[in-house]
Amino acid sequence: MRNILITGGAGFIGSHVVRLFVNKYPDYHIVNLDKLTYAGNLANLEDIEGRPNYTFVKADIADLDEMRRIIRDYGIDGIIHLAAESHVDRSIKDPFTFARTNVMGTLALLQAAREYWESLPEKYEGKRFYHISTDEVYGALELTHPEGVDAPFSTRASSGKKHEAYGSLFFTEETKYNPHSPYSASKASSDHFVRAYHDTYGMPTIVTNCSNNYGPYQFPEKLIPLFINNIRHGKPLPVYGKGENVRDWLYVEDHARAIDLIFHKGKTADTYNIGGFNEWKNIDLIKVIIKTVDRLLGNPEGESERLITYVTDRLGHDMRYAIDSRKLQRELGWEPSLQFEEGIEKTVRWYLDHQDWMDRITSGDYLRYYDDMYTNR
């Protein structure tokens, strides 16, 4: 039996990865390690919590001694590392927490894994440290085609109506790092530490950088669940600046499928970009969400557009992210399974059908955070 440690497994992307591995690999023992901060929620995994091949451990990845104990006690031979502070706005307010978790936490995990694996007779044979990162480490691309042009390539995730690109350049695995926010700087640093542990100690590592994810179980500080919930309650929809920033969107289950494939078949010490070739300006995406939510709630078409409220732009707001994931398609045969319109419909329906899940987490500290972020902007 393989013993796989998945960090951040009670969060948004992590819970989808944990569920996939627990269900797909009954001969694996999946150890889910999560600190259960504000975005970690064990309710995301209620359907698998009783499985015999699943264990949850509450711990802080920045606690080196605890990482040593967990990796040793569970005989961990593979690590899928998703635990991270991930919201740019929070990093602007509190960069030190991001440095502690994303940099020092990753370093503690690397060191604990190195010490344990090097103590074994087989050393690094059959081991893998897989670090999940973000496209934000690459910086920002220029909006050279603000009107949108036909995209030079597409995947099944690309919009079925008219797939457009808003610039001539895309992030590839060779793009130089140029992070702009405290969040992306912390992730870039952690990426470098992972690669350094391969180059220095020979640890079998792998890094992936993914575009924006959407889907069920996402904490509603992020755009899509935030706006679905606000439309349901008739609350303002806060749009940064003019809403012209562009992001590439991927359904979270497709990201989990890619992680599974890369963990098992990816090349050691390599990097893979994961994305959907699915660029949307924020304001256009918001209008799709409004149209979908209004239809499913039985509201007149476009009724909730009146809730759009333009607020002061985020400090250092990157203009455009766009991932080129053709290497992953070419070398490992991965591509998304859901077209964007299908994914948005599925996502909106999930949040509307799970209002109890949303209501449980949008109270207390969340309300205080929301007021702090968007009041008087």
Q: Give 209-256 pLDDT, tens digit per residue.
A: 999 999 999 999 899 999 999 999 999 999 999 999 999 999 999 999
In whole angstroms, give the CA distance from residue 309 to residue 230.
12
Domain ranges of the chain: 1-138+177-210
- Catalytic entry in 116, 183, 214, 217: 183
DSSP, residue by residue, 162-227: --EESSS--B-TTPPP---SHHHHHHHHHHHHHHHHHHHH---EEEEEE-EEESTT--TTSHHHHH
Specify the range with the lowest mean pLDDT, choosing from 65-79, 152-166, 252-266, 268-282. Answer: 152-166
The size of the chain, in residues, is: 377
In whole angstroms, give the CA distance from residue 293 to residue 299.
8
Active site (annotated) includes residue 183: yes
- Catalytic entry in 135, 253, 254, 335: 135
**Running DSSP on this structure, what letter comes out for residue 40?**
-
CA 263 to chain centre: 16
CATH fourth-level superfamily of 1-138+177-210: NAD(P)-binding Rossmann-like Domain (3.40.50.720)
Active site (annotated) includes residue 335: no
pTM: 0.94
Q: Give 152-194 pLDDT, tens digit per residue.
A: 877 776 776 667 899 999 999 999 999 999 999 999 999 999 9
**Cβ proximity of 79 and 31 under 8 Å:** no
Q: How far is CA 39 from CA 50, 220, 350, in A?
A: 22, 9, 18
**Cβ proximity of 181 and 316 under 8 Å:** yes
- Catalytic entry in 60, 136, 254, 279: 136
Active site (annotated) includes residue 136: yes
